[in-house]
Amino acid sequence: MTLQNKKKETRSVWFLLIGFCILTVLVFALWRIADHRLPVFVGRQLTMEEQQIVVERNSSLIDYVYLTANMDFPRKERIRKITIHHMAGDLTLEDLGASFAKRDRRASANYAIDSRGRVGLYVEESNRAWTSSSEENDQQAITIEVANDEMGGEWHVSDAAYEKLIDLCVDVCKRNGIDRLDYTGDSRGNLTLHKMFSNRTECPGPYLESKMLEIASRVNEQLAAEPEQKRADKNGLTTK
């Protein structure tokens, strides 16, 4: 190799290194800009006052708040669905929050329910969580992760978690104008499962899947009863 060719090769290497450095700086700068654009309460521990602000614009059933940056904001579609998931583990709300805090995991949910029946919020309802392997679904759905008290098998969930799931579904429907939940066994209904959008998962497991018609029925009973209760209250017929 001639001296001239060696110089050309050296220059090419330097140009590549300089180009790589510039690209790295640009990526870092864009990442920082994106972080600064995130909603103010995202990605950090909140004070009690801040948590109260967040709870007031979401569900009153919330016991724990950690807002992850793994989401899109604001959501592009009106909320018209609920999608049920399971944790595939018996995680605490705090442990799940720590998992969702990892940017490289690229996963989140609007809500989660632990085996004690406590409710956690990770993505506000006004934003789209990264949960269901389907942007189209997640733009329209409130997604809920439920802890398992059985690992494998039926992936059972505790009675406390199951009952709170009913309560949370009712609450979400009332506040978002969903008159009823319809489970059709496929993605056409407005009560959906993670497995409907990915052939790589059986989430939320056999136990919760077997309960979908019951969940829809119990939620719809409560939604239908509310107008009757309001009429009774208006006419002074409520019994104390």
Mean local confidence (pLDDT), 70-74: 95
pLDDT of 230 > 80? The answer is no
User: Is the distance from CB of 98 to CB of 159 less than 8 angstroms?
Assistant: no
* pLDDT tens digits along 8-36: 555 665 556 666 656 655 554 454 444 44
The answer to whether 122 and 63 have CB atoms below 8 angstroms apart is no
Assigned token pair, 128? 């789209």
* Listed range (14-18, 160-164, 181-185) with the worst mean pLDDT: 14-18
Is there a cis peptide before residue 39, judged by omega within 30 degrees of 0? no
How far is the C-alpha of 56 from the C-alpha of 218, rounded, in Å? 25
CA-CA-CA-CA torsion sign (201, 119, 188, 138): negative
For domain 48-234, the CATH superfamily is Peptidoglycan recognition protein-like (3.40.80.10)
CB under 8 Å to 109, separation ≥6 — which residues?
85, 100, 122, 123, 129, 131, 143, 144, 145
Q: Is 204 helix (H, G, I), strand (E, B) or coil?
A: coil
pLDDT, position 38:
75
> Per-residue pLDDT for 72 more than 50?
yes
- Can you tell me the distance from the alpha carbon of 188 to that of 80, in angstroms, rounded to the nearest whole number? 12
